[in-house]
Amino acid sequence: MESTVRIFLGIHDSQLRFFTPEGKLVPTPEEVAEKMARKLQDLGIDWRDLT
């Protein structure tokens, strides 16, 4: 079975970024980490306590 990943390059906020075929911005690893930290904070969990 062959898998294909389709991503596109474009400019967002003056930076070269990846986009999905639908035009959705692909988050950077830093953006994903920030989102996860906010979600944990919303749940009352300090991410620094997770080891």
Domain count, the chain: 1
Asked if the structure places residue 38 within a domain, the reply is: yes
Q: What is the structure's pLDDT at 38?
A: 94
Asked if the structure places residue 3 within a domain, the reply is: no
Q: What is the structure's pLDDT at 50?
A: 80
Asked if the structure places residue 39 within a domain, the reply is: yes
Asked if the structure places residue 1 within a domain, the reply is: no
Percent of the chain with pLDDT over 90: 80
**Residue 19: Cβ within 10 Å count:** 15
CA distance linking residue 47 with residue 50, whole number of Å: 5
Q: What is the structure's pLDDT at 25?
A: 97
Q: What is the structure's pLDDT at 36?
A: 93
Nearest Cα neighbor of 12 from 30, 25, 29 is: 25
The list of the chain residues with pLDDT below 50 reads none
Domain that holds residue 33: 8-49
Q: What is the structure's pLDDT at 42?
A: 95
Q: What is the structure's pLDDT at 31?
A: 97
